[in-house]
Copies of this chain bind each other. A is one copy, B any other.
């Protein structure tokens, strides 16, 4: 059984310590240098990230980028960001000359990820981008190429890649505790509300439930099984064509085939509540996470019993770990780089193609 202490020791940053800003220099000595992050797009999820970053030991918000002056004023006060580090979408290329900003975390509707990532990279800052990284693999590849060319790093906001119970299952799987892993079941869904939101706009979202919530099962299948799928089949159903317009998927079931013989069977839906369950099954054991990707505490068990590791806000751990990746060159247990984000887009492109054509689609990664 792992203890809280074991878990904490397994991470690079001692995040039990929650220093006040005045103690940061002292904390830096202990934890390593601090990643100075500008948030781009100040919506609901950015607020969640900003709140969670209050308890980071290696990352802090030093800049803000928004199209809404009132938000900049409000957030500047709330998070102690000086006015000189606040930018609009018109003038933020000037971050290139601002040493207070190491990285920009892009938290906008999906279709804006690419253009913002290109601008941030051009400004010479590391790019952290919310998932899905872009609307499709072609765009994702542009982002990877642009960041490589600019000499900046590109990370995707895969907060689950740092979550303690998830990592414990991955450790057990690598240790052979489940035997030969042959099946993953991922159920990802919620009932979406307001029909006018950007998530239901094809141009802004690039699709429907798959881009927003189904991607958790796509990505989860990969990190739980520990391989990348080589084929996909998919079936789309739509019960509400008014709410879910052409090109906006309501419900997709999809299956992924893996090189080692495992299959993943997954659901992505905007029509059913509280679907947030991962199940991994092998010849000698199983692992279950439910909730598996929600913002609150993840609950898990394996054939050996419940997973008892402590909950820490995902975005707190994520941003501290991303600081270690960007500043120290740390290699995370599960990648969060542009290639990782790109793989999910390649798979999602294939899922859409499989659903459209009714045919199995073989997957080739760039």
Contacts and interface: CB of A to CB of B under 8 A. Distances in A.
Q: Which secondary structure characterizes the binding site on chain A?
A: strand
Interface string A30-53: 000000000000000000000000
Interface of A: 180, 182-183, 185, 187, 191, 233, 235, 237-239, 251, 253, 255, 257, 261-263, 265-267, 269, 271-275, 279, 281-283, 286, 358-360
Contact of A183 (B267, B282, B286): B267
Nearest to A303: B274
B283 A191 contact: yes
A286 to B, nearest CB: 8
Nearest to A266: B265
Nearest to A232: B235
Contacts of A237: 257, 261-263
A362 to B, nearest CB: 11
Contacts of A251: 182-183, 263
B235 A255 contact: yes
Nearest to A265: B253
A235 B255 CA distance: 8
A134 to B, nearest CB: 28
Contacts of A187: 185, 279
A186 to B, nearest CB: 10
A235 B264 CA distance: 11
A267 B183 CA distance: 9
B235 A182 contact: no
Given A235-B257, A263-B235, A275-B281, A182 B269 contact: yes
Contacts of A185: 185, 187, 267
A210 to B, nearest CB: 14
A261 B271 CA distance: 11
Contacts of A282: 272
Given A251-B263, A275-B281, A359-B358, A239 B269 contact: no
Contacts of A279: 187
A180 B239 CA distance: 10
A257 to B, nearest CB: 6
A263 B271 contact: no
A30 to B, nearest CB: 46
25 contacts: A182-B239, A182-B269, A183-B269, A185-B267, A191-B283, A233-B358, A235-B255, A235-B257, A235-B263, A235-B360, A237-B257, A237-B261, A237-B262, A238-B261, A239-B261, A253-B265, A255-B255, A263-B267, A265-B265, A265-B266, A272-B281, A272-B282, A272-B283, A273-B283, A275-B281
